């Protein structure tokens, strides 16, 4: 078998993608920090064959991943017409533990999409733009995966103020002041359990949601305001928008049918402590959340020492097994 490999990072959305149309078209634009340490490494082995797929996570055969990969291959057939005449062995591993509650779909699907692009190149097939096609393919695997293809920030979904932005793929975004290119993200592991709401179910809850249209319009407005704040180094406005986006995402889940609460008591405890600390010290420390209980703490690199001291002394006790992951904005995937 031949082999190709990529390491692709996870990303954390500042403006949240929540709600989609077929096939994998976002209901609103989103913008994310590409991460650095949290990443998936995928080695794709391939040979002429009949479409037999084997997936190994950390060296262990994991057949439960196969349906998702098969769906990815079906959806990307136009981009990768060779996949049904090949057998694949997908060796994948994450830099973060599976039990940390950190989603691996964005990093995993983008790493796989990039490996497929390498095969496409190797076969001499026409490629107009390598990373753009990788982003389209990653999106078809997992919407947020479209953004993992680029660093330091990536924007997915048509937005009036981002030139070239598109619903089919993400574009790299660099129009921010330097402070945001080295921003820190300390991920507090509040709950290690599997997600109680799958992202497909979560997105589908926006279909008949009473607040959907207002929310989608709000994402456009929030993105506009965030772009200005990030260009002007307005950390206060940055934090206001990012925290509001996180709480809105959870508010959408709390007001859908069926409804969910994905925050845990310790999520709220941590948020309140961040707010008190910020009020008392004026330090630029903000939070965001994914569709889960973990808290991403965002702050400038210049405040790292000070804020890590606060996290260790006041917040760590609310983490499952006292665990957190230190990450920061990164530059995107690397070929191996
Ligand atoms: C809350 O990209 O995981 O993290 O397209 O169904 O794979 P699928 O969904 P996914 O949704 C991510 C939702 C989010 C917000 C975001 O990353 O923008």
- What is the per-residue pLDDT across 291-330, written as a single tens digit (0 to 9) for each? 999 999 999 999 999 999 999 999 999 999 999 999 999 9
pTM of the model: 0.98
- The protein residue with its alpha carbon nearest to ligand 1, atom 4, reads 290
pLDDT at 101: 77
Judge if the upstream peptide bond of residue 23 is cis by omega within 30 degrees of 0. Answer: yes
The 3-class SS string of 301-327 reads: HHHHHHHHHHHHHHHHHHCHHHCEEEE
Binding site membership of 144 for ligand 1 (Cβ less than 6 Å): yes
Determine contact, residues 68/183, Cβ cutoff 8 Å.
no
pLDDT at 194: 63
Cα(290) to centroid of ligand 1, in Å? 8
Alpha carbon 152 to its chain centroid, in Å, reads 13
| pLDDT tens per residue across span 97-117 | 877 778 899 999 999 999 999
Cα(106) to centroid of ligand 1, in Å? 8
Binding site membership of 14 for ligand 1 (Cβ less than 6 Å): no
Candidates 3.30.465.10, 3.30.230.10, 3.40.50.2300, 1.10.10.60; correct CATH number of 2-176? 3.30.230.10
| pLDDT tens per residue across span 137-149 | 999 999 999 999 9
Binding site membership of 148 for ligand 1 (Cβ less than 6 Å): no
Binding site membership of 290 for ligand 1 (Cβ less than 6 Å): yes
Binding site membership of 300 for ligand 1 (Cβ less than 6 Å): no
First vs last C-alpha separation in the chain: 17
- Per-residue DSSP letter, 10: E
Mean pLDDT of the residues in the chain:
97
Cα(238) to centroid of ligand 1, in Å? 21
Binding site membership of 17 for ligand 1 (Cβ less than 6 Å): yes
pLDDT at 321: 95
Atom of ligand 1 nearest to the CA of 20: 5
Q: What percent of the chain has pLDDT over 70?
A: 99
SS3 content of the chain, % helix, strand, coil (to 5): 45, 25, 30
Cα(206) to centroid of ligand 1, in Å? 13
Cα(136) to centroid of ligand 1, in Å? 15
pLDDT at 103: 80
Q: What is the CATH number of domain 179-328?
A: 3.30.70.890
Q: So where are the chain's domains?
A: 2-176, 179-328
């Amino acid at each position: 078998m031949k082999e190709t490999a990529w390491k692709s990072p996870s990303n954390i959305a500042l403006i949240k993608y929540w709600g989609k149309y077929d096939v994998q078209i976002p209901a609103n634009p989103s913008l994310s920090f590409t991460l650095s340490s949290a990443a998936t490494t995928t080695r794709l082995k391939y040979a002429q064959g009949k479409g037999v797929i084997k997936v190994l996570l950390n060296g262990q055969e994991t057949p439960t991943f196969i349906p998702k990969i098969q769906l990815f291959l079906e959806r990307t057939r136009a981009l990768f017409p060779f996949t049904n005449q090949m057998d694949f062995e997908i060796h994948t591993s994450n830099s973060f533990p599976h039990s940390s509650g950190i989603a691996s779909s964005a990093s995993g699907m983008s790493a796989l999409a990039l490996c497929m692009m390498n095969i496409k190149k190797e076969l001499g097939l026409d490629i107009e733009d390598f990373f753009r096609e990788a982003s389209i393919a990653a999106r078809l695997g997992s919407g947020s995966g479209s953004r993992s293809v680029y660093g330091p920030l990536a924007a997915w979904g048509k937005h009036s103020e981002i030139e070239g932005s598109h619903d089919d793929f993400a574009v790299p975004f660099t129009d921010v002041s330097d402070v945001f290119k080295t921003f820190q993200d300390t991920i507090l592991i509040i709950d290690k359990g599997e997600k109680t709401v799958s992202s497909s179910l979560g997105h589908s809850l926006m279909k008949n949601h009473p607040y959907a249209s207002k929310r989608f319009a709000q994402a456009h407005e929030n993105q506009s305001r965030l772009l200005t704040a990030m260009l002007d180094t307005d950390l206060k406005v940055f934090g206001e928008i990012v925290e509001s986006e996180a709480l809105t995402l959870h508010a959408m889940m709390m007001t859908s049918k069926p409804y969910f609460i994905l925050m845990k008591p310790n999520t709220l405890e941590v948020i309140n402590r961040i707010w008190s600390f910020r009020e008392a010290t004026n330090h630029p420390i903000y939070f965001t959340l994914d569709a889960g209980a973990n808290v991403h703490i965002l702050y400038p690199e210049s405040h790292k020492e000070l804020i890590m001291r606060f996290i260790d002394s006041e917040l760590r006790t609310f983490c499952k097994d006292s665990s957190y992951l230190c990450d920061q904005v990164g530059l995107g995937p690397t070929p191996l």
